[in-house]
Structure 1
Amino acid sequence: MTEPTSGVAKQELDDFLRTADKLTLDDRRLLVQQALVLIEQNYVHLPLKAAMHAVNPVQRLRLLAVRLSRQTPQTMGPEWRFHAELSEIFHAVRDLHTNYLLPQPFSGRIAFLPYLIEEHYDGERRHYVITRTLQGFSAPGFGPGVEVTHWNGIPIDRAVEINAGRFAGSNPAARHARGLQSMTIRPLRVHVPPDESWVVLTYVGQDGIRRELSETWRVGENLPPFVNADELSVAATAQGLDLGADEISRALKLLYVPEAVTPHESLGGAELAAEPAEAGADVPTSMPGFFRARSVVTPSGTFGHIRVFSFSVNDPDAFVREFVRLIGLLPQNGLILDVRDNGGGHIFASEFLLQTLTPRPIVPEPTQFITTNLNLRICRQHQENPTEQIDLGPWCPSMEQALETGAVYSGAFSITPAGGANAIGQQYFGPVVLITNALCYSATDIFAAGFQDHKIGKILGTDDNTGAGGANVWTHELLKLLLELPSPAPETPYKPLPGGAGMRVSIRRTLRVHDLAGTPVEDLGVVPDFRHRMTRRDVLQGNEDLLAKAGEILSGQPVRRLDVQVSAAQVTLTTALVDRADLYLDGRPAASVDVKQQVTTVPAPGAGTAHVIRVEGFQGGELVASRTILRP
Structure 2
Amino acid sequence: MNVNDQDNTDYYAIGPYLSTIRGLDLPTTAEHRQYIINQLLIAIKDYYVHLPIKRAAFTIDPVQELTLLLNKQDSDYEGLSFFQQLLSIINRLRDRHTVITLPLPWKNLVAYIPILIEHYMDGASPKYIISKKLYGYKNDALEPGTTLTHWNGVPIDSYLARNLASTSQGSNIFAAKELALANLTIRPLAYSIPPDEDWVTLSCITPSGKPQTWVFPWKYFAQPIQTDTSNQSTKGQAHALTNGLDSRMLHVNKCKRNFFQRKDSPLKKADLYQDLTPVDDYLLYGTLTTASGKVGYLRFYSFEVGNLSAFIRKIVSVLKQLPQDRLIVDIRGNPGGLIPAGESLAQLLCQHPISTSPVAFRNTSSTAKLGKLNGFTLWERSLDLANVTGEVFSQHFSLTDVASLTDYRYPGKTALIIDALCYSTCDFLSADFKDNKIGPIVGTSGRTGAGGANVWPFDTLVQFAMQAGDSRLAPLPFGMGLNIAMRRSIRTEQSAGLPVEDLGVEPDYIHHLTYDDLLYRNVDLLNFTADLLKQSSP
TM-score norm. by structure 2 comes to 0.92
The equivalent residue for 2:254 is 250
Partner residue of 2:484? Answer: 505
Matches within 5 A, 1:408-427: 408-420=392-404, 423-427=405-409
**For the structure 1 residues 363 and 491, does the alpha-carbon distance in structure 2 shift closer, same or farther, using more than 3 Å as the test?**
closer
Structure 1 SS opposite 2:450: coil
Q: Is 1:532 aligned with 2:511? A: yes
- Match for residue 340 of structure 2 among 341, 344, 348: 348
In structure 1, the partner of 2:125 is 125
8 Å contact kept, 1:4–1:114: no
Deviates more, 1:317-326 or 1:336-345: 317-326
Equivalent position of 2:223 in the other structure: 222
Offset from partner CA, 1:486-522 (integer Å, 9 cap, x none): xxx5551112211001111110000111111111111
Amino acid at match of 1:28: R
**Secondary structure class of the residue paired with 2:44:** helix
Please say if 1:436 is aligned against 2:418. Answer: yes
Please, what is the CA RMSD of the aligned residues? Answer: 2.3
Structure 1 residues 539 and 443: CA distance shift in structure 2, 3 A: same
Alpha-carbon shift at residue 378 of structure 1 (Å) = 2.2
**Are residues 1:40 and 2:76 paired?**
no
Cα–Cα, structure 1 residues 459 and 9, in superposed 2: closer, same or farther, change >3 Å? farther
1:281 equivalent in alignment to 2:282: no
Within a 5 Å distance, the mapping from 1:543-558 to structure 2 comes to: 543-558=522-537
Tell me how far 1:234 sits from its aligned partner: 1.6
Aligned to 1:290: 282
User: Residue 172 of structure 2 aligns with which residue?
Assistant: 171
> Does the alignment pair 1:332 with 2:314?
no
Q: CA deviation at 1:257?
A: 6.1
Counterpart in 1 of 2:84?
A: 84
- Aligned partners of 2:17 and 2:220 also within 8 Å: yes
Give the direction of change, closer, same or farther, for the CA distance of 1:172–1:462 in structure 2 (3 Å limit): same
Question: Tell me, what secondary structure is at the counterpart of 2:131?
Answer: strand
* Equivalent-residue separation in structure 1 for 2:403 and 2:238 (angstroms): 16
Contact 1:473 1:507 in 2 (8 A): yes
Q: Deviations over 1:18-41 (max 9, x none)?
A: 333243332222221111111111
Q: 1:246-272 deviations in whole A, cap 9, x for unaligned?
A: 1111111221269xxxxxxxxxxxxxx
Q: TM-score, normalised by structure 1?
A: 0.78
Indicate yes or no: 2:158 matched with 1:154: no
424 and 8 in structure 1: CA distance in 2 versus 1, 3 angstrom threshold: farther
Q: 1-side partners of 2:451 and 2:99: how far apart?
A: 13
- Which has more helix, going by share of residues? 2
435-444 vs 288-297, greater mean Cα deviation: 288-297
Distance 1:535 1:4 in 2: 32
Amino acid at match of 1:153: G
3-state SS of paired residue (1:415)? coil
Q: Distance in 2 between matches of 1:4 and 1:119?
A: 28
* Bigger radius of gyration among the two: 1
How do residues 567-582 of structure 1 correspond to structure 2 at under 5 angstroms?
A: none
* Residue number in structure 2 paired with 1:472: 454
Percent of residue pairs identical? 34
Task: Give the SS at the match of 2:107.
Answer: coil
CA–CA separation in structure 1 for the residues paired with 2:530 and 2:167: 37
Deviation at 1:229, TM superposition (A): 12
List aligned pairs for 1:93-492, cutoff 5 A.
Answer: 93-139=93-139, 141-161=141-161, 162-222=163-223, 224-226=226-228, 232-256=236-260, 280-285=273-278, 287-380=279-372, 382=373, 386=374, 391-420=375-404, 423-485=405-467, 490=469, 492=471
Which structure has more RCO (C-alpha within 8 Å, separation ≥ 6)? 2
| Residue of structure 1 equivalent to 2:267 | none
Q: How many residues align?
A: 519
Q: Which residue of the other structure, out of 64, 79, 85, is the alignment partner of 2:69?
A: 64
3-state SS of 2:297 partner: strand
Task: Show structure 2 runs of 5+ residues with no match.
Answer: 1-7, 263-270
Q: Is the 8 A contact 1:149 1:156 kept in 2?
A: yes
Output the CA distance in 2 between the equivalents of 1:230 and 1:357: 26
Gaps of 5+ in 1: 259-277, 560-632
In 2 relative to 1, CA 4–65 (structure 1 residues): closer, same or farther, beyond 3 Å? farther
Aligned AA for 2:274? A
**Offset at 1:353?**
1.0
Q: Which protein is richer in strand relative to its size?
A: 1
